[in-house]
Amino acid sequence: MNKKAINLEKTGFIENNISLSNCKTYFADMHIHVGRDVYGKPVKITGSNKLTLTNILIESSRNKGIDLIGVIDCHAPAVQQEIKQLIEQGSASELDDGGIRFEKVTLLLGSEIEIYDENCKGPIHVLCYFPKLSQIELFSEWLVNRMKNITLSSQRYYGTARELQYKVKELSGIFIPAHVFTPFKSLYGKGVIRSLNEVFDRDLIDGVELGLSSDTAMADQIRELHDFTFVTNSDAHSLAKIGREYQEIAMEEPSFKEFNLALHQVDNRRILRNFGMNPLLGKYHNTVCNKCLTSVSVEMNECPNCGSHKIIKGVFDRIGELKSSEKNELNRPPYLYQVPLEYLPSLGPKTFEKLLQRFGTEMNVIHKAPIEELIEVVPEKLAHSIIQMRQGKLKIKAGGGGKYGSVESP
């Protein structure tokens, strides 16, 4: 058994002789923010005021068709209170294997933390997940003396990255560096850090989140990432953005235990496919002038268009600086380019509702609806766009400098 499996065994989430034949496939988006708490107060200040925990659960279960979600503001006491209220009302229940079941979706209790110590020269965002309410409550009690405002999302933690890792593992949690290439608040993005070993204990990392401006092929140019499972998540700040990126996972059921096993590829649990937007759609893919968004060469320190000296280095160029390997010989799951339905030109709210009425969930529209049935609901041109999107063939205009790319009309 490898070292990571030993670490898993200590948490009590590995059992012997698990049947390999019981795995099914589930969709998971593990990075969703809460915009407002149960009292209407902000949690993620930039999040939609409709982005409450209850609305997230309803949207994921009924409209998106996502089986497993990670809400990463569950350290906030008011969010925990809302979960307890749902359980008391009989609308949700806590699973023995970790997680909260609501209708057809399982919630994992997560927290996004900002670290910035003398070693990491951050800020760097990380994702932590816990099996039970009791464990994330203990985590919040620990954080309250190491954070200025625990009621808000993505707040700075005052302590070292390794101390945070040790606490997460003490509470049987999962630890994942978030959107690792984003120019701001990420492991590699600022250009100061060249190796995760400068910041973290690599043996206590359970996976790596790629972010919207990178994909598996780009990330695998960095040799030290070859040992980790890659996850692709939406980082949703609104209900519509849930499922913007996600993965399909082989598990026995959607739960904390099974997700943990899948990250470490134990007994046939594993990520089968990553679904993400083409990196060109990410708002930090290209190196651009921060003032006028003109694409510039990474060597430039002045914009030829407006003369500004503030250049934002894109993810593509940053990975080029860190490149240490041509390819990963491991058998990675396929990374499939995809966009949410709302990104498609001419697909408005009314058309979206028609699709949901016919096919049930967005996942069904994206993955299963035949072209013949799509044409019965939407114009033929749009139906073909959905199929092109499913096949990763949509034309893309690149983004950069904080501006998302876009899907071009066929």
pLDDT given at position 242: 96
Q: Are 241 and 340 in contact (CB under 8 A)?
A: yes
DSSP for 393-404 reads ---EE--BTTB-
Tens digits of per-residue pLDDT, 238-263? 999 999 999 999 999 999 999 999 99
Check pLDDT > 90 for residue 399: no
Average pLDDT score over residue span 50-69? 97
b/e sequence 5-39, b meaning 16+ C-beta within 10 Å? eeebeebebbeeeeeeeebeebbbbbbbbbbbbbe
Q: Would you place residue 395 in the very low, low, confident or very high pLDDT band (cuts 50, 70, 90)?
A: confident
Q: CB of 78 within 8 A of CB of 43?
A: yes
With 70 as the cut, is the pLDDT of residue 32 above it? yes
Residue 13's pLDDT is: 42
Kindly tell me if the per-residue pLDDT of 21 is higher than 90. no
Q: What pLDDT score does 284 carry?
A: 72
Q: What is the pLDDT of residues 326-379, one digit of tens each?
A: 666 668 999 998 878 887 878 888 999 999 999 999 999 999 999 999 999 999
Query: So what's the pLDDT on residue 246?
Result: 97
β-sheet bridge partners, residue 127? 112, 176
**pLDDT score of 302:** 82
- Average pLDDT for residues 286-302, to the nearest whole number? 78
Stretch (H or E) spanning 189: none
**Token reading at 54:** 């209850």
For residue 102, pLDDT over 50 is answered with yes
Average pLDDT (380-408) is 75
pLDDT in tens, 281-292: 766 777 877 778
List domains and CATH numbers for the chain. Answer: 3-14+22-276 (3.20.20.140), 280-312+341-407 (no CATH)
Give the pLDDT confidence score for residue 326 in this predicted structure: 65
| CA–CA–CA angle 408, 181, 237 (5° rounding) | 65
Q: Which two tokens stand for residue 58?
A: 């309803």
Q: What does the pLDDT look like over 113-152, one tens digit per residue?
A: 999 877 667 799 999 999 999 999 999 999 999 999 999 9
Q: Confidence class of residue 154 from pLDDT cuts 50, 70 and 90?
A: very high
Q: What is the pLDDT of residues 198-209, one digit of tens each?
A: 999 999 999 999
Beta strands 68-71 and 105-115, pairing class: parallel
CA distances (Å), origin 151, targets 50, 156, 168: 17, 12, 19
The Cα 209–Cα 322 span in angstroms is 17
